[in-house]
Structure 1
């Protein structure tokens, strides 16, 4: 079929043509947005899930919903070893400068800019190679204590008050939130708690790997009262079929039931992989109906592409010792395993493998679903490891 008409979008954070199986989470987000806009308390969302389940896609969809409801939105992506101050600087600056219009809001917004100036600590700072200039004096006694929790709270409160003054709500969305340190996460949670208590129109949405829920609880015991923690997983068979069939039929084409079954079986129902298989099945088809043979071709092409990109970039970050640990885990299957069993399979003591395990968790390759257990964060990575290191 015509590749230009291919409806599937196998890309990082790219919205699929059919957002199947996520209606409940989207409704939670919409409720939180509407209540926050009205100055009412609402639990926001920290979305959890493995790689490829659509966390970033969902954050993008929430941002669209927020924009349609009159919000200023700022999307931030946390990265390993990023500093929370630097993550917030540009986004808060853009928000405040956008709000800086209308005489009735001038003082609230100017004060917000002065608090940001205090937060920066100087008129011009270099963050990531980009200079940030505000041209205002600092607000003495606000966001200048040197204590991260206090200063982040001051900053977001000032931003929320500026938003309230112009009746323009603000949504901050932070992806890969598991990379934020415990101290920084505690500061962020405390700040959002203060914003909620003040009834200000500012809300935070986040997304991260499954360990984020535990990290949030460790950072602040009251985190569960501020956030819902919806867990995204692979799609059900019915939702996965809809995610494949409906975009195809909207283009005037069709797909056989056997081909749908093959795509679901090979992709395990993970949204990113469904897009990859759907994309390749469409391109393999030379008629207006995708058949089982096309799905088999899609499997071969999808695995080849994933091995060369999606899986490869993660594998290349691993040390030899980390690769050996991941290979031992892969032999045990995709389900969570006891760390002691992995060490035993390697002929090592569990305590001796702790640094390797912790490094893999920090890199976002593994997570601990519960104490003493370990699992892959990347679906199908066990299969890749067996292909990449066939000797074990």
Structure 2
């Protein structure tokens, strides 16, 4: 069929044509943000889930909806190895300028810009014109060189500026699990203090399942400050809608048996649904899309997932890390005990401590329970068996 009309959108953070099964999550966060803007208490929202469940899509959808209501969104992606201050500075500067725009008489946004400039100086960051605006800041605000103390000042003054404009500031941080523990602790403390001061500033973040444990380790009260919401594969009804409705919107249809096959092979994970939907549309010669079309699309869909979703993560691994992951795949779908993995490789569990720690840091595995290990990427066990037919 005409690829120009293909409705499906596989891609990192690409919004699917049918955002199915997430209405309750979107509504709960929208309520929390409205409460915070109106000076009422609400927990910050943390979305947790494996790769491919649509966390980034949800984060972006929530941000766009909030901005449509006049809330100032601050989008940040936390890549591996980048410091929290270096991520916050440009994002907060943009937010402060939005609050200050056209408000010559307003002082708190300008005060926020000055505090940000002093923060840049204190942490020896470099960010263009901020270096030339140090005089805007008040001595002693966000310029001590202590991250926790300075971030408390910075978040507080940003929240005060938002309150002055009758709005809220929301940090939207993706891949939050990559933020170092001491920086995560400073951010949690700053947000906690801002809530105590009734500032309309909060966090909506997304990360891998281990993020909840990381935040609890960073600050013991994190579980009370944040609402952790687990995002998983779609239930059958929602997964079906994600496939059927976009096709019907293009005046086409898909047979029930074909849908069943797609749901079976994707296990309801949104990213996989989009890839399989795309490949089945391109494979089919006419409507309706049949079970036979799904079978014909199988090699192309698997190859596309291997190249665009799995391989990019596999290529970041060291040989020893690849062997460890391949051993996990040999044991089935998981989770796996660390002892079983080590025994499969013919060594003691202690021998793989550094490898396991590195894989957790890279976001490839996590610990769903004590002594357990699991992939953060759905269906990665099958990919490992394809890419490494035997354990080297």
Query: Which TM class, normalised by the smaller chain length?
Result: over 0.9
Tell me the alpha carbon deviations over residues 67-97 of structure 1, each in whole angstroms, 9 at most, x when there is no partner: 1111111210001111010010001100111
Q: Does the CA-based 8 Å contact 2:78-2:176 persist in structure 1?
A: yes
- Distance in 2 of aligned mates of 1:105 and 1:153: 25
Q: Does the CA-based 8 Å contact 2:70-2:167 persist in structure 1?
A: yes
How has the CA–CA distance of structure 1 residues 335 and 136 changed in structure 2, closer, same or farther, with 3 Å as cutoff? Answer: same
- Distance in 1 of aligned mates of 2:307 and 2:103: 56
Give 3-state SS (helix, strand or coil) of 2:373's partner. strand
- Distance in 2 of aligned mates of 1:186 and 1:134: 30
How has the CA–CA distance of structure 1 residues 103 and 11 changed in structure 2, closer, same or farther, with 3 Å as cutoff? Answer: closer
How has the CA–CA distance of structure 1 residues 220 and 357 changed in structure 2, closer, same or farther, with 3 Å as cutoff? Answer: same
- Distance in 2 of aligned mates of 1:101 and 1:168: 14
Q: Does the CA-based 8 Å contact 1:123-1:134 persist in structure 2?
A: no
Tell me the alpha carbon deviations over residues 339-365 of structure 1, each in whole angstroms, 9 at most, x when there is no partner: 111001000100110100000011111
Aligned match of 1:208: 207
Where in structure 2 are there 5+ consecutive unaligned residues?
none
**Number of residue equivalences:** 390
The yes-or-no answer on 1:45 pairing with 2:45 is yes
- Distance in 1 of aligned mates of 2:52 and 2:10: 10
TM-score when scaled to structure 1?
Answer: 0.96
Note the 1:59-208 alignment, pairs <5 A: 59-103=59-103, 106-121=106-121, 125-126=125-126, 132-133=130-131, 135-137=133-135, 138-208=137-207
- Distance in 1 of aligned mates of 2:160 and 2:104: 13
Give 3-state SS (helix, strand or coil) of 1:199's partner. coil
Aligned match of 2:349: 350
Q: Does the CA-based 8 Å contact 2:120-2:131 persist in structure 1?
A: no
Q: Does the CA-based 8 Å contact 1:254-1:290 persist in structure 2?
A: yes
Aligned match of 1:322: 321
Aligned match of 1:19: 19
- Distance in 2 of aligned mates of 1:125 and 1:208: 26
How has the CA–CA distance of structure 1 residues 321 and 123 changed in structure 2, closer, same or farther, with 3 Å as cutoff? Answer: closer
Aligned match of 2:337: 338
- Distance in 2 of aligned mates of 1:134 and 1:352: 52
Q: Does the CA-based 8 Å contact 1:55-1:207 persist in structure 2?
A: yes
Aligned match of 1:217: 216
Of stretches 168-177 and 321-330 in structure 1, the one that deviates more from structure 2 is 168-177
Q: Does the CA-based 8 Å contact 2:122-2:144 persist in structure 1?
A: no
- Distance in 2 of aligned mates of 1:243 and 1:60: 18
Give 3-state SS (helix, strand or coil) of 1:311's partner. helix
Deviation at 1:124, TM superposition (A): 9.1
How has the CA–CA distance of structure 1 residues 258 and 163 changed in structure 2, closer, same or farther, with 3 Å as cutoff? Answer: same
Note the 1:239-278 alignment, pairs <5 A: 239-278=238-277
Q: Does the CA-based 8 Å contact 1:90-1:132 persist in structure 2?
A: no
- Distance in 2 of aligned mates of 1:172 and 1:182: 18
How has the CA–CA distance of structure 1 residues 105 and 303 changed in structure 2, closer, same or farther, with 3 Å as cutoff? Answer: farther
How has the CA–CA distance of structure 1 residues 379 and 106 changed in structure 2, closer, same or farther, with 3 Å as cutoff? Answer: same
How has the CA–CA distance of structure 1 residues 132 and 262 changed in structure 2, closer, same or farther, with 3 Å as cutoff? Answer: farther
When the two chains are superposed, the root-mean-square deviation of aligned CA atoms in Å is 1.6
Tell me the alpha carbon deviations over residues 330-385 of structure 1, each in whole angstroms, 9 at most, x when there is no partner: 01122211011100100010011010000001111101112211000011110010
Tell me the alpha carbon deviations over residues 278-333 of structure 1, each in whole angstroms, 9 at most, x when there is no partner: 01111111112100011112222110111122111111111111111000000112
Of stretches 352-361 and 167-176 in structure 1, the one that deviates more from structure 2 is 167-176
Give 3-state SS (helix, strand or coil) of 2:74's partner. strand
The yes-or-no answer on 1:28 pairing with 2:28 is yes
